[in-house]
Structure 1
Amino acid sequence: MGRPKQFDPDVAVDQAMEVFWRKGYAGTTPQDLVDALGIGKGSLYNTFGSKHALFQRALCRYRDSQAKALIEMLEQGGPVKTRLRGLLEFLAENDLADPDRRGCMAVNAAAELAGTDDAAKALIQGMLDRLEETFRALVEEGQRAGEISPARDSEALASLLLTTVTGLRILVRVAESPDRLFRVIDATIDSL
């Protein structure tokens, strides 16, 4: 009879997500994971198979928690531009408050892996597509409500909003002050 697992794999995925988010995929060693999870290398590989498989699970966990929360924020009631500004300001303020300035794990992973890791690329693309579709629906809601001109291309505006979010998540990693971030937010909302 084998020994029972001495750790909770779901908790381990959360802990691994934090390590990958802070250090990136390439910057995270198996020893980093073993240290963070408090398990042996054998348990790591027996449970998750490989560093890459654990990264995939961590990225899925990030998607399930972070992307879902953003979409829920956008789907609340109220004026569309107010919701969009609120989301962008929340992201900027939240990322600026993070002492590690990690930004967005998905954006970081896209920058690091999109050209070399098809599985990560597909997962990230799905997350971005879902967010962009949410933006498109929100723009169209704003058009119906008279907040946004119906002559504007809702798909183009959704792409602009997605690009703004990804850009903000990168800028925050090097921003010395919030001024640039809030100028971007103001200009984006004004452009709608």
Structure 2
Amino acid sequence: MARTREFDVDQAVGRAMDLFWRRGYAETSLQELLQELAIGSGSFYAAFGSKEELYLRCLDRYASLQAGDLEKAIDGATEIRPAVRRLLASLIELDLADPTRGCLVVNASTQCGDQPSAAERVTAAIRRVESLLAGALEQAQARGEISSDKDARGLARFFTTFIQGIRVAGRARVGREFAEDALSVAMRALD
């Protein structure tokens, strides 16, 4: 007879995500995961299969949360410029408050180049951000906020790249002045 699981898988994924986020994939050992999740190796393998499979679930969860936050920030915004500025400023504030964490997607992109599955998750997360931004920018064009001469997809790619770059700069502890100057210049792309 199979034993019932004695832990909440969803909570375990959240705790593992936090551990991977703080330490990185390579620096997080299986023993640390077992300790953080307070489970044995048998339960771990039954629930997650492997460290890599758990990491991929964590990346999926993070990307989903990130996309949800982005949608809240820009979906239905009556004016795109203030919405984009608030979004980017909030990321800067996150990095100033805790520069060691950064963005799990950015961290994964720099730490997991030899893991095709992780690289695919990173690419999908970046494309999702691009798509959400492109949709919001196209709506802003339809409302006349942004010139129809602008390439909404190109702008979305620029801002997606800016987001990744500003998160890397935040981890490098470049400081508020650097980040805010970069934000001011980035916002001119919408003029």
With the length of structure 2 as denominator, give the TM-score of the two structures: 0.92
From the superposition, tell whether residues 103 and 89 of structure 1 become closer, same or farther in structure 2 (CA, over 3 Å). same
Q: Which stretches in structure 2 are left out of the alignment for 5+ residues?
A: none
Q: Which residue of 2 aligns with 1:172?
A: 170
Q: Which residue of 2 aligns with 1:24?
A: 24
Letter in 2 for 1:121: A
1:123-138 paired onto structure 2 within 5 Å: 123-138=121-136
1:16-95 paired onto structure 2 within 5 Å: 16-95=16-95
What displacement does 1:163 show? 0.6
What displacement does 1:78 show? 2.0
Task: State the Cα RMSD in Å.
Answer: 1.6
**Residues 1:108 and 2:111 are matched in the alignment:** no
SS in 2 for 1:27: coil
Kindly indicate whether the alpha-carbon contact (under 8 Å) linking 1:71 and 1:131 is maintained by their aligned counterparts in 2.
Answer: no
The alignment of Structure 1 onto Structure 2 pairs a total of residues equal to 190
Residue by residue over 1:100-149, the C-alpha shift from the partner in whole angstroms, topping out at 9 and shown as x without a partner, is 63111011101211x31221122221111111112112222222333322
Return the alpha-carbon distance in structure 1 between the equivalents of residues 3 and 131 of structure 2: 47
Residue by residue over 1:5-60, the C-alpha shift from the partner in whole angstroms, topping out at 9 and shown as x without a partner, is 22111111110000111111111110110111111222212221110011111111
Residue by residue over 1:71-91, the C-alpha shift from the partner in whole angstroms, topping out at 9 and shown as x without a partner, is 221113221111100100111
With the length of structure 1 as denominator, give the TM-score of the two structures: 0.92
Q: Which stretches in structure 1 are left out of the alignment for 5+ residues?
A: none
Identity %: 36
From the superposition, tell whether residues 168 and 176 of structure 1 become closer, same or farther in structure 2 (CA, over 3 Å). closer
Return the alpha-carbon distance in structure 1 between the equivalents of residues 141 and 60 of structure 2: 33
| Residues 29-38 or 135-144, more deviating | 135-144
Return the alpha-carbon distance in structure 2 between the equivalents of residues 176 and 189 of structure 1: 19
What displacement does 1:176 show? 4.6
